Amino acid sequence: MKKGLLFVAVISAFSFASCKKDRTCTCQTDTPGSTANVVTYTKAKKSQAEAACLSSKQTYNGITVTTTCTLK
Which residue blocks in 1-72 are alpha helix, DSSP H? Answer: 2-16, 46-52
- Contact in structure between 56 and 65 (CB atoms under 8 Å): no
pTM for the model stands at 0.58
- Domain around 63: 2-71
Number of domains in the chain: 1
Rounded CA-CA distance 20/50 in Å is: 13
Rounded CA-CA distance 1/61 in Å is: 69
Q: Is 44 exposed, middle or buried (0-12, 13-18, 19+ CB in 10 A)?
A: buried
More confident residue, 3 or 23: 23
The model's pLDDT over 24-36, given as tens digits with 9 standing for 90+, comes to 999 888 877 788 8
